[in-house]
């Protein structure tokens, strides 16, 4: 199943139910911790600098940043990682990236890809240091929620992704049927009463809930 096919299986009633459940919008419900991912300590964070609030926000999505990595991101390697982050535009959405812009924004020589590699492995030549694709995607999505999709196994199963190039995969889907995916994201934003949610984050939430529902969780 593709991203589009998965989205088209989700009904309006499911969007309403799953969104209310996720955000705890009924009296008998507590919100999932993920509901706070984009807002926790957001007033203290700089869009062009990783902060302790950004690292802690990953706990909302059930992952953490190893202490050694946190020290590097916030202290010893801060200048390097923040220099790369500053080069990634904060005012462009993945759906709006053109073919001509893709390589410079998200290609293998782009600052975004360099930051991905740096967060995955630290210094050039270092072995992996406990930051897999899920952790790195969540950290980058915290800073660039409109541009970087979150990679998580539950959603990847729903959309049939092998996560080898999720940036290209999501952009292709958003370009091929922009109306369907944006309409679904708008339904999530409306049900959640969260107009601030990026399209990528809104779709991530409802597809994650679908995956959990399919698993019987």
The pLDDT tens digits for 161-209 are 765 678 999 999 998 877 889 999 999 999 999 999 999 999 999 999 9
% of the chain at pLDDT higher than 90: 74
Q: What's the pLDDT at 139?
A: 97
Band of the pLDDT at 217, cuts 50, 70, 90? low
Q: What's the pLDDT at 94?
A: 96
- Residue 46 clears pLDDT 70, i.e. is over it: yes
Mean pLDDT of the chain: 91
Q: What's the pLDDT at 119?
A: 93
Say how many CA atoms lie within 13 Å of 125 toward its Cβ: 0
- Residue 124 clears pLDDT 60, i.e. is over it: no
Sequence-distant contacts of 46-55: CB under 8 A, at least 24 apart: 47/90, 47/143, 48/82, 48/85, 48/86, 48/90, 49/78, 49/82, 49/85, 50/74, 50/78, 50/81, 50/82, 50/85, 50/139, 50/143, 54/139, 54/142, 54/143, 55/139
What's the rounded Cα separation, in Å, for the pair 55 and 57? 5
Band of the pLDDT at 127, cuts 50, 70, 90? low
pTM of the model: 0.93
- Residue 141 clears pLDDT 60, i.e. is over it: yes
């Amino acid at each position: 199943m593709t991203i589009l096919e998965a989205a088209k299986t989700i009904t309006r009633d499911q969007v309403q139910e799953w969104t209310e459940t996720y955000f705890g919008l009924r009296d008998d419900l507590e919100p999932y911790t993920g509901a706070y991912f984009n807002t926790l300590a957001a007033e203290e964070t700089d869009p062009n600098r990783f902060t302790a609030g950004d690292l802690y926000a990953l706990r909302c999505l059930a992952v953490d940043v190893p202490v050694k990595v946190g020290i590097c991101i916030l202290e010893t390697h801060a200048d390097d990682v923040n220099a790369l982050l500053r080069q990634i535009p904060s005012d462009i959405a993945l759906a709006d990236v053109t073919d001509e812009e893709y390589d410079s924004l998200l290609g293998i020589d782009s600052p975004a890809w360099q930051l991905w590699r740096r967060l995955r492995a630290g210094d050039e030549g270092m072995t992996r240091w406990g930051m897999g694709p899920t952790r790195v995607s969540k950290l980058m999505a915290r800073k660039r929620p409109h541009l970087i999709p979150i990679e998580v196994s539950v959603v990847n199963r729903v959309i049939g992704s092998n996560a080898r190039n999720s940036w290209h995969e999501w952009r292709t889907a958003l370009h091929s049927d922009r109306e369907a995916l944006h309409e679904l994201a708008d339904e999530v934003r409306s049900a959640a009463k969260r107009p601030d949610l990026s399209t990528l984050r809104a779709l991530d939430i409802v597809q994650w809930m679908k995956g959990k529902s399919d698993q019987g969780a």
